[in-house]
Chain A
Amino acid sequence: MKKRLALLLAIVMLASMLLTACTAPDTTPKTPGEDKGKDESKAAEPTPLNFWVFEELHVAFYKDALNSWNEANPDRPVELVVESYPNAEMHNKLLIAIQSGVGAPDIVDININYFANFLMGDIQLAELNRVVDPVRQYFVESRFDIYSKNGKVYGLPTHVGATVAYYNMEILDKAGVNPDDIVTWDDFIEAGKKVKAATGIPMIAFEVSDQRPFWPMIVQRGSDYLDKDGKVILDNDINIDTLNRMYEMMYEHEIAVAMPGGKSWAEEFFPFMNSGGAASIVMPMWYMSRFLAYMPDLEGKIVIRPMPIWEEGNTRSAGIGGTGTAVTLQSKHLDLAIDFLAHAKLTKEANIRIWEMLKFDPPRWDVWDAPQLQEPHPYFGNEKIFNVMLQMKDEISSPNISDLSAAAQDVVKQNVMFRALHERSMTPEEALKAGAEELRSLENK
């Protein structure tokens, strides 16, 4: 009967409707994406650029750069669409987006911990030499190296990340300790004992589910996780000795504690430090921004000094950490994105703004003596902070970066530090050996 046939047809249609009902949303959102191409030709319409960050504090800086860009380039206005995600999650998302060819932003802040992952195989980040080469000479060169492969730059640095010691003077004064007398780590330990005896407060807090100050400590001694050729040296004598000394600070001299939350960026750590939980921390310069944002009670009490050294010949700092801002090849506005990024990060003005807005040590050293950077800061003991930087200018060694870098940092953060310093299920030597072994199995692959 015709009726039955109609019924069958109806079913088939229903089924296909259901299927298309599912596929429909696929096409709709793409349309505005395609429109973007046209936008660029229309001068007045701002071009939207998607931007992912894993650190909310950076957003204001880019918004500021956006305003100055739009003022200077009325013919190529930009609109930034910023999304911020959890650190690990953002990098997973980015990796998946890049693998699958769908959903990557135009511009993205990539944590140095993960950067190497994006330089493997077929690189999906845009080469930035066009904008970097003209200004390269003014920058701390090693800050480009860490985001480069085979001479091509894929990320723009946000800061030098020079590691320094932050001392809480309120606590040190109670114990009669002068931070300027602390030159070596032995001095530091002695001072720590005095502080502990006088106030009961630990001298320093260590990250135990992240890698500071272990990493800068070994880099200042000329060691690293990987050598220049990318070979694993995680378990060399310097590293074992350094981790042993950290262990002793925690459990023998009892002048060091694990940071609450395990890392300097945990929400539990900020109130701990803010209320005077430790007399010092050793962190990169960019950590000034965290003091300002999350530890208001320490205003005027913090002074910045070079890192103590282990022995003659060590550098007094190490350029640790970093955020490389990259443009992905999925961007439909590659040139615009690159030009905007150069405007936001490579110019002299931009580098002054990096200091003014983020309180990061700008990678362009020719601004370090600019008046804005030389201005004394009330939060940090009213001192001229960049005098410390200028003092150490040639002592800021950067770590070696190669294919295994991301994996190496993972291993140190997740396993070595935690097992050796917090859980104490392994001795420092065992933990480093186990970590090195894991890395070597990747190396041999």
Chain B
Amino acid sequence: MRKKAKFNWSIWLIFLFFIIVSFVMLLPLYYLILGSFRNSKDLFRFGMDLVIRPELMSLDNYKYILFGDGKIYLHWYKNSVLITFLFTISSLFFSAMVGYALGVYNFKGKNFVFVLVLFVMMIPLEILMLPLYRLTVRFKIINTYSGVILPFMVSPLAIFFFRQYASGLGKDFMAAGRIDGCTEFGLYFKIMVPLMKPAFGAMTILLAMQSWNSFVWPLIVLRTNQKFTLPIGLSSLMTPYGNNYDMLIAGAVLAIIPIVIVFLFNQRSFIAGLSAGGIKG
């Protein structure tokens, strides 16, 4: 009996600890949301406390973005959505194919290709930023969606993940498919792809998040305001010269709301996907 009482006490301490931790973790977002309802010029100059003050709050910033002169923001939103969508779909399509082949087939040069995949995984893209930039200029895909998407579409990380997943699938499915007269490609699309569904789920989240939040590469490729994605557009507002903070803060809030909502409904795939992102990066 005594032991149990002591146990509860420490559990409550831990509970309290996490309440505090949660407060700290949510604070920046709370602050951001609170700030989005305030006159943001004053915010950066005079700061803000944590108290909700209805008399200082208004929807003006949001009105500005959605209906007012800040409409360029909606362009950025559209670009972000489209680029994320196109990138995720095409990256899944190609990366899954490659990963699958590396996982289930035995062929000459397989190990070599796999080592190449691992090698590419180990090189940060930032190193190739300059030659890739020159390449996009030469291919005339600078300032286009293709310029953002193509260089990183075949994702070594996703290949790796699909390979791991595919190699764990039973070979008897394949044998059965072949007996049914499937071609190798029919086999893949009809039988194996459905079997890899969980892997697709996790990778969709990973790739979509990667694309939605990616910053360095779009910063270089996207040249005009009309083509910016959200992170690039928002970063172009971080200036003391302009009076853009109204757009900046409310825009930042609107940029995270959809992800947080999707996250709350699909926590498992998010956690699976984003933790896969760390596989030997």
Contact = CB atoms under 8 A, between A and B. Distances in A.
A265 interface: yes
Interface stretch (B15-23, B25-33, B116-124, B235-243): B235-243
Given A22-B145, A89-B236, A103 B224 contact: yes
B225 interface: yes
Contacts of B59: none
Interface string B67-110: 00000000000000010001001100110000000000000000
B137 A271 contact: no
Interface stretch (B155-163, B170-178, B181-189, B256-264): B181-189
B143 A265 contact: no
Contact of A84 (B143, B238, B242): B242
Given A54-B241, A56-B242, A266-B240, A102 B186 contact: no
B45 A268 contact: yes
Task: Tell me the interface secondary structure of chain A in the complex.
Answer: helix
A89 B239 CA distance: 9
A21 B242 contact: no
A410 B46 CA distance: 29
Interface string A1-34: 1001001100100110011011101100100000
A97 interface: yes
B167 to A, nearest CB: 23
B196 interface: no
B210 interface: no
A4 B184 CA distance: 10
Contact of B45 (A54, A55, A271): A271
B213 interface: no
A342 to B, nearest CB: 26
A99 B46 CA distance: 40
B149 interface: yes
Interface string A101-130: 111000000000000000000000000000
Given A22-B86, A99-B137, A102-B142, A11 B223 contact: no
B39 to A, nearest CB: 13
A86 B248 CA distance: 13
Contacts of B89: 18
A8 B187 CA distance: 12
Most chain B CB within a 10 A radius of its CB, from A22, A83, A99: A22
A270 interface: yes
Nearest to B240: A267
Contact of A86 (B45, B137, B144, B241): B241
Contacts of B189: 7, 11
B141 interface: yes
A87 B223 contact: no
Contacts of A86: 236-239, 241-242
A96 B143 CA distance: 11
A12 to B, nearest CB: 10
B66 interface: no
B141 A23 contact: yes
A93 B90 CA distance: 29
Given A96-B223, A101-B137, A22 B242 contact: no
B144 A25 contact: yes
A56 B141 contact: no
Contacts of B93: 14-15, 18
A18 B93 CA distance: 9
B164 interface: no
B186 A7 contact: yes
Interface string A169-210: 000000000000000000000000000000000000000000
A22 B146 contact: yes
A99 to B, nearest CB: 7
B52 interface: no
Most chain A CB within a 10 A radius of its CB, from B89, B94, B225: B225
A43 B142 CA distance: 33
Interface of B: 44-46, 82, 86, 89-90, 93-94, 133, 136-137, 140-146, 149-150, 181-183, 185-186, 189, 220, 223-227, 235-244
Considering the complex of A and B, which 6 residue pairs feature the smallest CB-CB distances, nearest first?
Answer: A103-B223, A86-B239, A26-B144, A22-B146, A100-B137, A267-B240
21 contacts: A11-B185, A15-B93, A18-B86, A18-B89, A21-B86, A22-B144, A22-B149, A23-B141, A25-B146, A29-B227, A54-B239, A86-B239, A89-B235, A93-B223, A99-B137, A100-B142, A100-B143, A102-B137, A265-B240, A266-B240, A271-B45
